[in-house]
């Protein structure tokens, strides 16, 4: 029994890229070199070394398919090519699906549209989250208290001198 390569005769991609998976069995005592190339596309990887007395599954990425392409698989041992197979690839254009806006939770109303500094401040608070907003408010309150305390004690110092 010799080397066998099992792959689909055709593949259909959505968009310009996709994958072709193939099965192989190499019961021989020789390493088989499998070269992969394409007319009308690019492939990666483009060469496999399949060790003696092994079997498995491999995947090839096919890119830049315009509409149709043919991917060729060529097996050789030593300098002798002994098997060539191909897969016809057809590419369908990818359809862009609209992404719907998330629905607000039940019982809530959408925020009113605003202009200017207030709406920018509100947007900033919305991004921060509740824990960060609370910490920011506490820090601003502490700064305001220190400023008020400083101004409240400053006139007393001037009168006392």
Per the model's pLDDT, the better-predicted residue between 120 and 146 turns out to be: 146
CA–CA distance, 30 with 111 (Å, rounded to integer): 72
Buried/exposed 106-126: b ≥16 CB within 10 Å, e otherwise: eeeeeeeeeeeeeeeeeeeee
What does the alpha-carbon distance between residue 13 and residue 19 come to, in Å, rounded to a whole number? 8
In the predicted model, what is the mean pLDDT of residues 144-151? Answer: 80
Ordered by start, the domain boundaries in the chain are: 4-92, 117-160
The pTM for the full model equals 0.59
Q: Which residue would you say has higher pLDDT here, 33 or 39?
A: 33
Domain 4-92 sits in CATH at 2.60.40.10
Task: Say yes or no to pLDDT of 15 above 60.
Answer: yes
Residue with the bigger pLDDT between 145 and 32: it is 32
Q: From CA 144, how far away is CA 138, in angstroms rounded? A: 10
Query: In 64-143, which ranges are E strands?
Result: 68-77, 80-92
Is 70 exceeded by the pLDDT of residue 108? no
């Amino acid at each position: 029994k010799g080397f066998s390569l099992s792959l689909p005769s055709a593949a259909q991609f959505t968009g310009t890229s996709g994958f072709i998976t193939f099965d192989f069995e190499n019961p021989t005592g020789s390493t088989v070199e499998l070269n992969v190339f394409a007319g009308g596309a690019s492939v990666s990887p483009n060469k496999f070394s399949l060790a003696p007395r092994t079997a498995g599954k491999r995947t090839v990425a096919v890119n830049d398919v315009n509409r149709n392409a043919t991917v060729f698989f060529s097996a050789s041992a030593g300098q002798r090519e002994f098997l060539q197979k191909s897969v016809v690839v057809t590419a369908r254009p990818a359809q862009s699906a609209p992404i719907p806006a998330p629905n607000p939770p039940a019982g809530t109303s959408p925020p009113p549209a605003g202009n200017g500094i207030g709406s920018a401040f509100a947007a900033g608070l919305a991004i921060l989250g509740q824990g960060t907003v609370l910490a920011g408010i506490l820090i601003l309150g502490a700064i305001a208290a220190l400023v008020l305390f400083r101004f409240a004690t400053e006139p007393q110092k001037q009168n006392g001198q």
